[in-house]
Structure 1
Amino acid sequence: MDIQLHEIEAITNKFADDQKIGSGGYGDVYRATHKGEEIAVKKLHQLQGLDDKQFHAEYRNLREVRHQNVVRLIGYCYQTQKKYMEHNGELVFATIMERVLCFEYMHGRSLDKHIQDESCGLEWPTCYKIIKGTCEGLDHLHTSQGKPIFHLDLKPGNILLDESMTPKIGDLGLSRLVASTKTHQTRMRDGTLGFMPPEYVDSGFISKKFDVFSLGVIIIKMLAGDKSYFRCSEMPSEQFIEYIRV
């Protein structure tokens, strides 16, 4: 569903700070209510080189994705507006492309808020529920559509939890959409390098194994914690299994 920018500005009080609930490499997120439903509104940063036709086509496809372990896209907006802004110390009248995505609101926060230095702060049954649900959501993306949908930026911050701690994969499609931008390249290399498989780091090769590698890193971090993950990654497999059992 296309949502007009003036509607989004109305429900976010023109993107007021007191409604902001988070920020990331792609944009800022605001909590709002649309037609009686709580939603998360992501206002994307101004990204040079992003193809707006591709943006529109990508989200027309993604809004058809329906799975209990994938965050539901409610609507989106890409609309130009003219405004005064500062450039080299002077006010100029510029044309700005605003891109906004609207998702279902997740009350349980993101998984990274529950991962500690040494181990996950959640009980094992909950951890298992999160792992199982994430696997099922990823399998749906890889196998249920006409062609596979690759996430390419799967990490704890993109696994969102609802009130019952059911996991849902979020930020779907954003990696592909901004792959050619300088902002994306810098953020990927500096921010989430540990979640990218060696074949991508070395040669840029992409397959469904990319997301599976990221999922494996997430599972180990849940079980071992952020700091212990690096010790685990250097262990032989038999030693790692024994370590987890203990």
Structure 2
Amino acid sequence: MGDYHGMEDFKLHLIESITDNFADDRIVGSGGYGDVYKAEHKGKEIAVKKLHPFQGLDDKQFHNEVRNLIKIRHKNAVQLIGYCYESRNKYIEHNKELVFARTTERVICFEYMEGGSLDKHITDEPCGLGWSTCYDIIKGTCDGLNHLHSVQAKPIYHLDLKPGNILLDKSMMPKIGDLGLSKLVASTETHKTEMLKGTNGYMPPEYIDGGHISKKFDVFSLGVIILRMMAGNKGFFRCSKTPPKQFIDLVSENWKERLQAVSRDSSYEMDTLRVRKCVEIALKCVDTDRKKRPTIQDIVREVEELEADIEKMMSAPSPESKDLTVQL
């Protein structure tokens, strides 16, 4: 593949030396497709993902992820730094015998995210992070997904969007990571596919029932993430049994109390509007009928329009601001 956009073709001996030969104490994460190690390269902390040796699937998986990552340049998507694809002969244990065999190591290196992943902030209760941080994580994830869905001529569908794949930097800015399952889609047509190893709870019903993939797959996963952030896991399971308006009121009221407790002025009213909008959008995203779900472009536009309305309110004299609040 050569050097592409400054991306490095790492030699395996270098990767082994910066990870202390893939030492267990350097592991910072493990997933279905590999382990992630923390290392240092050129004075910077990087994350080194070593893919498990899958039978038959591995090469396709590896090249798919590298090809997808090369195309991505966005502040809300994890940045690829380089890769290593190297085969060598060595003695390995097979049926309790040492055999001389050809092994291939597949490694992907990307920027290290100090804040860890969003899943550690998702519990039974609503997210414990402050509202402005939560809102920035929601907006950033939407912007990152919007970029994936509109990369050049071929959209990239993530297909495994979940809190464990939303990584946070030291200032808690979110970046979408782990594109191991993703598909580069030649057209925006819905198509059937062989079943992927997605994550239960984040896969839409049309995929579980019939293997259908479309741009609405990731939108469903995004809705689940937002609802789990806003209402906690317990509240999320309540949302399918509660009428939408009642559910929005309930979640908004909970956040309003939290916002009032920390706010010294009336800014919490604006934040309550943001809370309502996020829950409203998320409920539309998890509609069982994919045709009723918004696209990620629709979602980004809705949030931008809300922000424009809030800006008008903030700069308007009080009577007009009350009118706008009523409209929203």
User: 1:76-225 to 2 correspondence within 5 Å?
Assistant: 76-172=83-179, 174-176=180-182, 185=196, 187-188=197-198, 192-225=199-232
**What's the CA shift for 1:100?**
0.5
Aligned letter for 1:228?
G
The equivalent residue for 2:305 is: none
**What's the CA shift for 1:123?**
1.0
> 1:184-238 CA distances to partner (integer Å, 9 max, x unpaired)?
95x53xxx11100111111111111000000000000001112322122332212
**What's the CA shift for 1:51?**
5.8
Aligned letter for 2:97?
E
- The answer on whether the counterparts of 2:61 and 2:181 sit within 8 Å (CA) in structure 1 is no
2:241 corresponds to 1:234: yes
> 1:81-124 CA distances to partner (integer Å, 9 max, x unpaired)?
22222222222222212111101000111000111211112111
Secondary structure of 1:193's match? coil
Instruction: State percent identity of aligned pairs.
Output: 67
The equivalent residue for 1:20 is: 27
Identify which of structures 1 and 2 has the higher relative contact order when contacts are C-alpha pairs closer than 8 Å and 6+ apart: 1
- The answer on whether the counterparts of 1:63 and 1:74 sit within 8 Å (CA) in structure 2 is no
- The answer on whether the counterparts of 2:29 and 2:37 sit within 8 Å (CA) in structure 1 is yes
Larger Rg: 2
User: 1:70-81 to 2 correspondence within 5 Å?
Assistant: 70-81=77-88
The equivalent residue for 1:49 is: 56
Classify 1:213/1:61 alpha carbon distance in 2 versus 1 (closer, same or farther; 3 Å): closer
Cα distance in 2, alignment partners of residues 121 and 176 from structure 1: 30
2:33 corresponds to 1:32: no
Cα distance in 1, alignment partners of residues 55 and 38 from structure 2: 26
The equivalent residue for 2:298 is: none
2:6 corresponds to 1:6: no
Cα distance in 2, alignment partners of residues 37 and 100 from structure 1: 18
**What's the CA shift for 1:37?**
1.6
Q: How many residues align?
A: 236
Question: C-alpha root-mean-square deviation of aligned residues, in Å?
Answer: 1.9
**What's the CA shift for 1:57?**
6.0
With the length of structure 1 as denominator, give the TM-score of the two structures.
0.90
Cα distance in 2, alignment partners of residues 35 and 117 from structure 1: 41
Q: Which moved more, 1:234-243 or 1:217-226?
A: 234-243
With the length of structure 2 as denominator, give the TM-score of the two structures.
0.68
Aligned letter for 2:174?
P
Secondary structure of 2:83's match? strand
Classify 1:156/1:54 alpha carbon distance in 2 versus 1 (closer, same or farther; 3 Å): closer
**What's the CA shift for 1:169?**
0.1
Cα distance in 1, alignment partners of residues 80 and 21 from structure 2: 21
Secondary structure of 1:94's match? strand
